[in-house]
Structure 1
Amino acid sequence: MCGTCGCDDSREAAEARTLRLEVDVLARNEESARDNRAWLAARRVSAVNLMSSPGAGKTTLLEHTIRAVAGTVTCAVVEGDQETPLDAERIRATGARAVQVNTGTGCHLEAAMVGRALRELDPPPGAVVLIENVGNLVCPGLFDLGESARVVLASVTEGEDKPSKYPHMYRVADLVLLTKVDLLPYLAFDGDLFAGSVRLVNPSAPVLPVSATADTGLADWYGWLRARSCPPTTGGPP
């Protein structure tokens, strides 16, 4: 369990110390996030934070996306996982640059981790950095990484109740992608109930049904992503 973001199981005697630790950690993270945001803005690069539970299809979606928007959007990827370089290797196979960040026992990316990865990536002006966060529906929503937008992915295999069970994650989303919709004929999934649950916690976040493997709904996602690309200025980054 994570002892730095409020999700541990400390008893009453330790609650005050845990709260102080949480406040200190989040304050340091906010400072790093501001630095990241300024660094990205100076280079006219935008960053999108992708969050979901494990197995919702983030990496598969990124593989399809990078290939589909090549020529119109330059993508670079920060891959967050507790262990292994597997996802970064998959992304590099598309031709995009990727930096793997392994968090060990950590259950989320933090702004300082992303800052180091951004400088290693060194994305060109106008690029979009796609940050694939560690699979987790709790902690990633608490940590600002300096991104310009947050996308929450939810697979139809997870059930339609996740927005109600994990409201904070959906509350911070700018876009919700309902993934693996090609499996709907085989599941008892209520799409209207899911969309209604999202609206209850976040009335402004659009819900896009998509399937990377069946190429369903991806044009709208690509259009949303292209709108986040910053046109480069003459002379490039400082």
Structure 2
Amino acid sequence: MCRTVDLHQAVLAKNDENALALRRFLASRDTVAVNLMSSPGSGKTALLEQLLTRAVAAGTPAAAVTADLATENDATRLARSGAPVQQILTDGLCHLEAGMLQGRLEDWLPDGTRLLFVENVGNLVCPASYDLGETLRIALASVTEGEDKPVKYPAAFGLAQLVVVTKTDLADAVGFARETFLGGVQQVNPGVPVLETSARTGEGVDALLAHILRSAEGEETHTPVLARQHEKHLHSHANGTVREPGPVS
């Protein structure tokens, strides 16, 4: 008898298993992972450098893993913060997977790391489907990308626990329709908090770091509607057991 296998679902189910193992590994080290997702050119790396610099200055043990298809440019930039940084080269893969991340962390993550920032590959499609064992998932969009990003990429923004607007110092220059953007965010993810930032001027960076630290201390975070729907349709393993759900996947 022939049996049809959905390879995409099989890959996601395997990733969910790896994400669960990674979540347990991070919990055992009291490390909180923050998954940063955006399109290329959103200013994600510049903002992350500011976050790391401020965390280091405040005495908060922080580290970062950054993923790209090629080059170690982002890791070089982030290392200027003084925080430990690792680069993952995906060799053409458009997203990070939990197994890739865990393989890098097991031999590298410094003892005592409280915050682990994961800069995902610049892409608003593929990364949305992959749980990385994170505590907090953030979707970023710059004002230069236009105000329709949330409704064009509903999975990326609909599964986020926080939405961050970047490059706000350019909003007037590019004619950013702020209310349209915010309306789109609420359409795909009702109730999700939105923070506005500028790495250039420093606007909103302290507020963003404070929000992340509150999440690290266990303060209740937003649960997206899409994530709640997902919990009703958990993947079943071949042995009939159901995976332990994470915050998002």
Matched, 1:41 2:27: yes
Alignment equivalent of 1:28, drawn from 14, 17, 30: 14
Instruction: Give matches, 1:75-86, under 5 Å.
Output: 75-86=62-73
Matched, 1:214 2:206: no
2:114 matched residue in structure 1: 127
1:197 matched residue in structure 2: 184
| Whole-angstrom distance in 2 between the partners of 1:22 and 1:78 | 26
1:178 matched residue in structure 2: 165
8 Å contact kept, 2:61–2:112? no
Q: Any unmatched runs of 5+ in structure 2?
A: 219-249
- Alpha-carbon offset, residue 230 of structure 1: 5.2
| Whole-angstrom distance in 2 between the partners of 1:60 and 1:139 | 22
| Whole-angstrom distance in 2 between the partners of 1:160 and 1:48 | 24
- Alpha-carbon offset, residue 126 of structure 1: 5.3
- Alpha-carbon offset, residue 93 of structure 1: 2.0
1:116 matched residue in structure 2: 103
8 Å contact kept, 1:98–1:121? no
- What do residues 120-156 of structure 1 show as CA deviations (whole Å, max 9, x unaligned)? 3323335110000000010101000101110011000
Moved more, 122-131 or 61-70: 122-131
- Alpha-carbon offset, residue 117 of structure 1: 1.8
1:57 matched residue in structure 2: 43
| Whole-angstrom distance in 2 between the partners of 1:124 and 1:153 | 29
| Whole-angstrom distance in 2 between the partners of 1:230 and 1:222 | 12
Code of the residue aligned with 2:55 in structure 1: it is V
> TM-score, normalized by length of structure 2?
0.82
Misfit runs of 4+, over 3 Å: 228-231
| Whole-angstrom distance in 1 between the partners of 2:68 and 2:113 | 26
Q: Any unmatched runs of 5+ in structure 1?
A: 1-15, 232-238
Q: How many correspondences in the alignment?
A: 215
Code of the residue aligned with 1:45 in structure 2: it is T
| Whole-angstrom distance in 2 between the partners of 1:63 and 1:43 | 23
1:89 matched residue in structure 2: 76
Code of the residue aligned with 1:67 in structure 2: it is T
